[in-house]
A and B are shown apart, each in its own frame.
With several copies, the nearest count.
Chain A
Amino acid sequence: MIDLNLSPNDERLLAAVREEALIARRYARYYDENEHEFPPDQLPEAKDHPGFMSTLGQREDGDAGMAVMTTLIAMGQTWGDYSVRMRRQERGLGNSALQAAGTEEQKRKWGDKILAMAITEPGCGSDPSLVRTSARLDGDHWVLNGEKIFVTTGCRADGVVVWATVDRAAGRGGIKSFLVMKGTPGFIVAHKEKKLGIRADDTAAYVFQDCRIPRDHLLGNDEEVHRGGSGGFKGVMKTFNMTRPMVAAIGLGMAEAALDFTRDQLREAGVEVTYGSTLHNQPAAAEKFRRLEATFEAARLATLRASWLADQGESNNLEASIAKAKAGSAVREVTQGCIELLGPMAISRDHLIEKWFRDVRITDIYEGTGEIQRLIIARTILGYSRDELK
């Protein structure tokens, strides 16, 4: 049965998420201005605050599925701030990779650690087949050499899932992922990058210099090199289907914050956004606001669609890319448009909207740029292979 309305139970839960988010929002400016610092694992307010997880309680009939709910919770949290949380989340992207491609033993051993994921290198953007970081087998150890950049939560994670090639000649088939824990000799964590936005977030650069790790740190323990075909690469790629709707949701939460702020400001100034009447006789500001709202709503629904498919256990490769690509452009349009609507006041750092404008810009860039997502969508609908459409 089609229903795109939230259940009362889910409404309650998301209200609790937003309540925490509003508290976290108080710290947003501080960590934006002090980018060398990290937000605490837990905010001072946490002690008097049960946390929304406690209000999750029993899922009831008519409640949304877990993937959908996770997406909506992420949206609610970033409605407060991208980086600051009442309590720090316990997982990184590497954990998803571990779940997707790790052996049972590996999941037991590292499941409780916070794992980042290191894919991008200075030489390769969103093209994983250009990975230069190498892994050489030396007795019972792998020896890693290479550089990684744009590693999300890379500074504070306990360890990382690194993409490296065991045989460059084999192309994508030679790419494997390895688990490396912090403190391993030869694993150097460079300072976090100075960025346009999401400054409190840690985005690290890694260097591996003859970094030796035990042989069984190869994720999935599949040492066979697949010639031609994508091979073990598939496993790690799975991660993307899980992360793209999340990344979309993270951006949309901030875009929604911008819309809410703008609506409130306009209302206080006497411009009420109403619905029903078409273009004419309406204030231009209200009409423009409604267009931005529609764009946001479309991206939000595309994201829920991708997550819902995941809940159904159905493939969502196409829909995950649609969600990511649509959100990537929607959040730019929305935050740019809100600042245009509010004018001079909106570019002041006395308000957070200028920060949301900077923060959301990452959405269309990381975890596969908008261009990469469109490639995936086009290949899918055209039935083209990677070689037929580059």
Chain B
Amino acid sequence: MISFALTDDQQTVRESMRGFAAAALRPKARECDEAAAIPDAFYEQAWELGLVATQLPEAVGGYGAPRSPLTNAIVLEELAYGDAALALAAVGPALFAYAVADQGTAEQQQAYLPGLCGDRYQAASLAVAEPSPTFDACAPRTTLERQGSGYVLRGSKCAVPLADRAGHFLVVAREGDGLAAAIIARDAAGLTIRDDKTLGLKALPLATLELDGVRVAAGDKLGGSAGADVGRLLAHSRVAIAALLTGLGRAVLDYCIPYTKERVAFGEAIARKQSIAFRLAEMQMEVDCMRWMTWKAASQLEYGHDATRAAHLARTYTADKGMWIADNGVQCLGGHGFIREHPVELWYRNARTLGVLEGLASV
């Protein structure tokens, strides 16, 4: 069926997320970016929304709402409309939680999910990206090898969100010719965590994990000995990033519209010049297209189809257009677009950063 209709629940969620983004994210975005830090209070405030726990099974302390990539895509677009870095801080633990809930063994769910359903903010994260110039999420250099009763992880991961506070990490690695994901604790021997300083998403804690022969217990390979569908896990994260870029793109457009209507040059509002007006029209076209590409992939995940292709195309498309929109946002503001008094320069950095990272969020 071809339908773009939100359910009543989805409409409610969208409205509340829109409100939260306007009240708690957008106003803090600049300050957090300049400080390259997010106040602990924000983590707790976001936690109270139960964003992570909602879709986790009641058996582990979640609210037991059905897992919905579509609903999550809507949530992420709205939060990123406020600020992408704060949005990622708010939903970060879902990276780990959804993966374990979707593909973990019963034991893994019991062992790791209850902690993520408590009253206080609890972080856990996913490690996908690697600092290689030819990084390919589907061909990681990090390896998982059998050793004795368990496994051992070797390699390095970068841009791992919330690594400063995550209790556990789900690490994507190559196992033989295939892919696997393994759970390790932050205090695992052989694991060193080093903060990453980045172009964008500065407020979000990101770090490099050096995995120098980190031991993984037999039971800590995601999905157990059967393993997990890591491709599907990556698809969830790609659709999430596509949703974030859609929200960012919409933020740029909505900022440029009033600005260009007020800004006067050569005797009239610059929005009345075709060169600006047509650019805004193009931005609107692409924000829409980004959303539909995201929804298409999300609806394939939602209804259990193979989303590899759709997620890949959505990711590529939103990375390109998100960058294009942010770039033109800066141009619409001219000199002011280059100054840190306006958010467009922040969106310019965040768009490029989101466009090249993997494993930042999950739907």
Contact = CB atoms under 8 A, between A and B. Distances in A.
A and B form one complex: yes
A124 B261 contact: no
Contact of A196 (B273, B278, B288, B349): B349
A237 interface: no
A301 to B, nearest CB: 4
A52 B302 CA distance: 31
Interface string B161-178: 000000000000000000
A276 B231 contact: yes
A277 B136 contact: yes
A234 B308 CA distance: 45
Given A365-B337, A378-B278, A5 B300 contact: yes
Interface in A208-261: none
A150 B335 contact: yes
B265 A126 contact: yes
Given A3-B303, A127-B266, A347-B353, A280 B316 contact: no
Contacts of B108: none
B189 interface: no
A111 B270 CA distance: 39
Contacts of B4: 2, 4, 305, 308-309
A389 B357 contact: no
Contact of B134 (A3, A269, A373): A269
B271 A290 contact: no
A281 B136 contact: yes
B285 A68 contact: no
A198 to B, nearest CB: 9
Interface residues of B, number: 92
A278 B139 CA distance: 9
Contact of B339 (A195, A339, A378): A195
A298 interface: yes
A196 B265 contact: no
A62 B97 CA distance: 32
Interface string A285-312: 1000011011101110110110011001
Contacts of A2: 3-7, 10, 70, 295, 298-299, 302
Interface of B: 1-7, 10, 70, 129-139, 158-159, 196-200, 231, 234, 253, 257, 261, 263-267, 270-273, 275-278, 280-282, 284-285, 288-290, 292-293, 295-296, 298-300, 302-303, 305, 308-309, 312-314, 316-317, 319-320, 323, 327, 330-331, 334-335, 337-341, 345, 348-349, 352-353, 355-358
Given A340-B355, A371-B276, 15 more contacts: A2-B298, A5-B1, A125-B335, A127-B265, A276-B308, A291-B320, A294-B293, A336-B327, A339-B199, A341-B133, A343-B132, A344-B358, A345-B132, A348-B196, A377-B284
